[in-house]
Amino acid sequence: MEQFASLKRSKDGQPVRYLMVDDSVFARKNLARIVETFGGQVAGEAGDGMTAITEYDRTNPDIVLMDITMPQMEGIEAAEKIVAQHPEARIVMVSSVGYQENIVAALQRGARHFVQKPVKPEVLYEVIKYVLGEDGAVAHAAGAGA
């Protein structure tokens, strides 16, 4: 898998911490492998929206990658509840269902961005950079470009 220049937190230079929310173990593992190529760290995982809320409180991640179609509580509702409690939460919806209404509903209810599955690592990388804004920094390896 392609490697990317590491994305770090600006405030302390530590890896960006991610909460993965998807009812598919396969999807969570796949996303974990992708964010590791960005220099990221998995802070926690959840298989449904309800667990995502408690895992957010427990792990306080920098980024949440949230599926939409899940049992018990869907991703958009979970995103709304997390943002109500934590307005600073950065939630990126990651779903195979990417039609306009879904995207608009997610953004209106607090998500910062939307990425359609199958996830292209280069697309997710740019979205994460955008969503982190000034709170993220690209760490160039020593000697890079030599």
Partner 1 sequence: MKMKLIQPFINAADAVLAQGLQSPMSIGNLSMEQEAYRRKGVAALVAITGDIEGRIVFDLDPETALRVASHFAGADLPESDDLVRETVCELANQVTGNAVTTLNDQGFHFRVHPPVLHTSEHGPISTEDTEALVICCETDRGSVFMNIALRYNVPLSGDLAAAAGE
Q: Which residues bind partner 1 (CB under 8 A)?
A: 1, 23-27, 29-30, 33, 69-71, 95-101, 116-118, 120
Based on CB atoms, which residue is closest to partner 1, 6 or 30? 30
CB nearer partner 1, residue 126 or residue 139? 126
User: What DSSP character marks residue 126?
Assistant: H
The string of DSSP codes covering 23-43 is S-HHHHHHHHHHHHTTT-EEE
Smallest distance from the beta carbon of 94 to partner 1, in angstroms?
Answer: 11
Based on CB atoms, which residue is closest to partner 1, 39 or 98?
A: 98
Buried b (16+ CB within 10 A) or exposed e, 73-102: ebbbbbbbbbbeebeebbbbbbbeeeeeeb
- Minimum gap (Å) between residue 23 Cβ and partner 1: 6
Least separation in angstroms between residue 20's CB and partner 1 is 13
By beta-carbon proximity to partner 1, the closer residue of 60 and 98 is 98
Listing DSSP states for 76-103 in one string gives HHHHHHHHHH-TT--EEEEES---HHHH
Give least dist CB 77 to partner 1, A: 14
